[in-house]
Amino acid sequence: MAKKTDHQAAPDRLGAAIFTVLRLIAAACAIGVYYYFVLPPLNPRSVQFWFFLTFCFVCIAIALRALDVGAFGSSIKNFNLVKLLNGQKQGAGAPSWKLLFGKGALSTVMCVLIAIPLAVLGIGTVISSVVFNATAYAQVITVEERDFNADMPETKEITNIALMDTNSARMLGDRKLGALAGVVSQYVVSDDYTQINYKGKPIKITHLEYDGFFKWIGNRANGIPGYIMVDTLGNTAEYYEAKGGIRYAQSGYFGDDLMRKVRFDYPTKIFDLQDVSFEVDEQGNPYYCISCYTRRVGLFGAYDVEELIIFNPMDGSSTLYAVEDVPQWVDIVFDGDLACEKYDWQGIYSGGFINSIIGNKGCKRTTDDFGYLMFDDDVWYFTGVTSVTSDASNIGFILSNARTGEYRFYPVIGAEEHSAMHAAEGEVQEKEYVASFPSLVNISGVPTYIMVLKDNNGLVKLYALVNVRQYTMVATGETQQDAVAAYLKMLSGAGVNTENPAETEQGSVTVADVKFLTLDGSTYAYVTAQDGNVYRVAFTEENEQIVLVRPGDVLEMTWQKGDIRIVRAWKRAE
């Protein structure tokens, strides 16, 4: 066959170049579509970024025919699974990686480019893991040990506890929407409720969402009309209009999609597309608060909040704040699950990775849920802390500030939250009520769990208080006031000074005698000192070492004043 002349080969080269350009344009379109819908951050400390980079290189390689996907795909039909299982060789034309990778310098370069992000992902994940960085994980946060009675003011009226759980709030929110005739047919209530402290009251808040694509088309000109606030103390829900309408939302499409708008405004920021809190300022103006993350260990390890985007969903404007500069009205910067996870890093890995696997010396962790407390004009997460080797009781509890990330540890030994929940449920077991995850209050100087009991329909039926140190002490009532009154009566019957609980003393006591008595089903140790004073210690799991106390021992005690001194804390003198 005669060789083509230069004049004849020119159209072939031109055609090949045109087809290459068209393939590159198609690759660019595929990359653009991927970015538009997946919205990866353009940040090398994000795993999504390296997957996106790999996808880009693969698309370019296919366009340049450095990867022959067609040839590899057509050979799949010759693959014989039976032969593979029997250890036999595949027949001619069977798929081979050699069919996928082309030959020449271009193919080599593209294969190297594809391998680089995959290698970064693998190596980065390994070097960022807790196996090699246990101490660094443990040092992500600092925890201050605090005194329970000093920080938690005594109360006889519960006004700062978010007792209602999210499921109950959803029921009230859905009912409120059902009463709004002009809104219910076009919108639904978002399931994403945010716990906020609004004008000194614990409130759960959420916004309306478009009820599907076609409802978005029909209503996008006016936007989403408003939001719902649920009073967690009064068990009521109220609807509020957003003047001008909410344009950007997670239920919006294309340019009205909240995450797409924020990603295009902040292409390098790392944030969770599902982790957005909806809040209002003191004037009732709605905002989305979007936490931006960084990595504290290695390339991908120990993610933590570094900044916050406050986004106006009505006009699309936004402001980026460092955590320390976030406005006071914002309540949620750190997610509750993240707050617990960061404490677990410290609690489990402070003694090193090997110790977390073998021995577990000093290892502790949070319980599997958290509640909310409102004080100092902030929202705080509350959860118990227990040993990793036992979940029957807590060795204390932590409070974590949802806005600043501050941690406080309180060494209050007592029942684990779920034990307290079961105790409350058992008090009215014939009704088959279910307890919500509790929160914590200080009643007459006594650490006390408080929770609600719900029926099968999720309606709040009773309030319950459970003594942390002695969880068999349970009081219930149809209102918070009734439950507190019953609990105070119970404490008074146990010898606690409920009138002036702040009158306490502490000092060293030399033991003369110890006797054990049972009153109303509860056991107490009566310690008689050499000076004749009598001290009463509740015999609970955390105080069981009182049985080892003998005459002549010296104890450091904190007690409540009275003829018989009620001991709040004790330990052997060093």
What is the per-residue DSSP string for 258-276?
A: HHHHHHHHSTT-B--TT-E
Under DSSP, the state recorded for 323 is: G
Q: For the chain, how far is it from start to end, CA to CA, in angstroms?
A: 103
pLDDT-derived band at 121, boundaries 50, 70, 90? very high
pLDDT-derived band at 415, boundaries 50, 70, 90? confident
Query: What is 400-430 written as a DSSP string?
Result: EETTT--EEEE---EE-HHHHHHHHHHHTGG
Among 404, 319, 375, CA closest to 161: 375
Among 522, 542, 537, 538, CA closest to 386: 542
Q: 465 pLDDT exceeds 90? A: yes
Paired with 475 in beta bridges are 465
pLDDT-derived band at 497, boundaries 50, 70, 90? low
- For residue 411, is it left (φ>0), alpha (ψ between -120 and 50) or beta? beta
What pLDDT score was predicted for residue 79? 47
Paired with 474 in beta bridges are 466
User: Can you give the three-state secondary structure of 210-239, one letter per residue?
Assistant: ECCHHHHHHHCCCCEEEEEEEECCCCEEEE
CB atoms within 10 A of CB 541: 14
Q: What are the residues whose beta carbons fall under 8 Å from the beta carbon of 81, sequence distance 6 or more?
A: none
CA angle (273 as vertex; 272, 278 as ends), nearest 5: 95
1-43 pLDDT, tens digit each: 555 555 555 666 676 678 778 888 999 999 999 999 999 999 9
Under DSSP, the state recorded for 285 is: -
Q: Coil, strand, or helix at residue 68?
A: coil
Distances (CA, A) of 299 to 263, 294, 435: 21, 10, 42
Report pTM: 0.79
Tell me what the pLDDT averaged over the chain comes to: 84
Compute, in degrees rounded to 10, the torsion defined by CA atoms 120, 121, 123, 125.
140
Task: Give the DSSP H or E segment for 30.
Answer: helix 6-38
Under DSSP, the state recorded for 249 is: B
CB 465 within 8 Å of CB 442: no
What pLDDT score was predicted for residue 535? 87
Among 454, 496, 318, 339, CA closest to 406: 339
CB 91 within 8 Å of CB 80: yes
Q: 81 pLDDT exceeds 50? A: no
Between 30 and 525, whose confidence is greater? 30
What pLDDT score was predicted for residue 345? 95
What pLDDT score was predicted for residue 83? 47
Query: What is 128-154 written as a DSSP string?
Result: TSHHHHHHHHHTSS-EEE--HHHHS-B
Interatomic CA distance for residues 95 and 42, integer angstroms: 35
* Residue entry with tokens 């294969």: 111
Under DSSP, the state recorded for 96 is: -
The tokens of 549 are what?
A: 């106390």
Q: How far is CA 334 from the centre of its chain?
A: 8
489 phi and psi angles, rounded to 5 deg: -65, -40
Distances (CA, A) of 496 to 357, 393, 473, 510: 43, 23, 13, 23
Strands annotated E in 298-388: 301-311, 318-322, 364-366, 371-375, 378-387
What pLDDT score was predicted for residue 8? 52
* Residue entry with tokens 């009675």: 149
334-351 pLDDT, tens digit each: 999 999 999 999 999 998
Q: How far is CA 392 from the centre of its chain?
A: 23
For CA atoms 13, 15, 18, 23, the dihedral sign is: negative
Task: Give the DSSP H or E segment for 367.
Answer: none
Q: 99 pLDDT exceeds 60? A: no
Q: How far is CA 282 from the centre of its chain?
A: 25
Q: 333 pLDDT exceeds 50? A: yes
pLDDT (average), residues 56-69? 79
Q: 369 pLDDT exceeds 70? A: yes
Structural domains in the chain, sorted by start = 15-130 (no CATH), 143-153+338-412 (no CATH), 166-329 (no CATH), 426-493 (no CATH), 504-572 (2.40.50.140)
What pLDDT score was predicted for residue 525? 85
Interatomic CA distance for residues 382 and 339, integer angstroms: 10
Q: Which long-range contacts (CB under 8 A, 24 or more apart) does 389-394 make?
A: 389/360, 389/363, 391/367, 391/416, 392/416, 392/419, 392/541, 393/419, 393/541, 393/542, 394/367, 394/468
